[in-house]
Amino acid sequence: MDWNDKEQVIEYKKRWYQKNKKRVKAKSKTFYKENTEHVNNRNIKNYWTRHEEKIDYNRKNADKCRKRSRKYRESNRELLRKRAINRRNDPSQKHKWNAREAAQKAKNKGILVSPSKCEGCKEKKPLSMHHDDYSKPLDVRWLCKKCHGIVHRLYD
């Protein structure tokens, strides 16, 4: 085997992985259990690095990204509509919709009042409600869009 030939090396690694898949997965699990905090911190750091790169790319190529999104939505309109309907009517998600609806009604009646600052970053921004526990519909955290996204990506 020629170790300078990139394609041969990739092919070798694929074959090796297929032969040793169980061993690799077992080793990964034990490493994760022993180094959970380190792995999570690394994942958060990598997430933010990629996130910032993605934001920069989207800012520099805003028109291109908008066109690509519009094209996808137009060509997959029926699929997106079905997904939205399925999400709303999914029996396993019903408790979430009920909690959101109860919280929204409470907000409209003045029972729940939105604070002026985000509970995550303490900045004055438009806030949305986040449920940590859907069985407690009026127990919500008020988060800005950025913090709300972080909470969902890291803890869901």
Predicted TM-score (pTM) of the model is 0.49
Residue 7, amino acid:
E
> What's CA 78's distance to the chain center, in Å?
24
pLDDT digit string (tens) for the chain, length 156 residues:
888 999 999 999 999 999 999 999 999 889 888 988 888 788 777 877 888 888 899 999 999 999 999 999 999 999 999 888 887 778 888 888 899 999 999 999 999 999 999 998 899 999 999 999 999 999 999 999 988 988 888 876
Backbone region of residue 117 per phi and psi (left: phi > 0; alpha: psi in -120 to 50; beta: other values):
beta
How many angstroms separate the most distant Cα atoms in the chain? 73
Residue 89, amino acid:
N
Summary count for the chain: helices (H), strands (E): 7, 2
Residues facing residue 141 across a β-bridge? 130
